[in-house]
Structure 1
Amino acid sequence: MDARNTLRLLPWSSPEGKPCFLASASEGGHLSRLADETEDLQLSEGLEVLVAARKLLGDPLSPNVEVRYTAIRLSECLADALRVAESRCRRLPLPGDTSGGDGP
């Protein structure tokens, strides 16, 4: 098994901003469940921010400071969503892999 299937990219970074990985990506472990819950929370928060942003951006009289704040939040949520996507993609089985990988 290669590193693609054995290392899980976690949904948080180190204090230095470096990516964190879980060496044993077995499903059901405490850290794996915490990562799953964090990813779910990040995606849910992203949806909430998107709904609010659409409302704010739909109003041509929205104050610039609110539009700027919304853009900042949207970029944070997009970064989280891309990290979740990368993590989940890493856990998908490779084409032709019959082992099923570590994915759900």
Structure 2
Amino acid sequence: MGETTEAVSGLRRLPWKTDSGKPAFLATDDPNSMLSLMADQIEEQHLTNASTILGLVEPMYGPEARLTAAEAVFMLRRTAESLAAVIDVARMRGERLDSE
């Protein structure tokens, strides 16, 4: 989760991994290719998920919150997963900006 990946010149890193767990890359500069559009949709879904999770957990950590340990661990895991995905999206978009 949240590993650092070096950008590969001329390639777009995709928001999924290969079967062997390595970063997947796309070798096209066509932003309208099927894989580019799919990657855009997945990145957008990661951002939407993060926003949803934030909205769900915000009321859970206020002064009136009464969480069990299991609920707190579950909340923390989902939040961490979401944060890792959003960081990856930011890095991937940064890599694309650097290559322009």
Q: TM-score, normalised by structure 2?
A: 0.82
Please name the residue that 2:4 is paired with: none
2:97 matches 1:92: yes
Q: TM-score, normalised by structure 1?
A: 0.80
Aligned length: 92
2:28 matches 1:24: yes
User: Percent identical across equivalent pairs?
Assistant: 32
Please name the residue that 2:74 is paired with: 69
Q: CA RMSD in A?
A: 1.5
Taking the aligned partners of 2:20 and 2:81, their CA distance within structure 1 comes to: 17
Unpaired runs of 5+ residues, structure 2, are 1-7
Unpaired runs of 5+ residues, structure 1, are 95-100
4+ runs deviating over 3 angstroms: none
User: Cα distance, 1:80 vs. partner?
Assistant: 0.6
Taking the aligned partners of 1:15 and 1:51, their CA distance within structure 2 comes to: 33
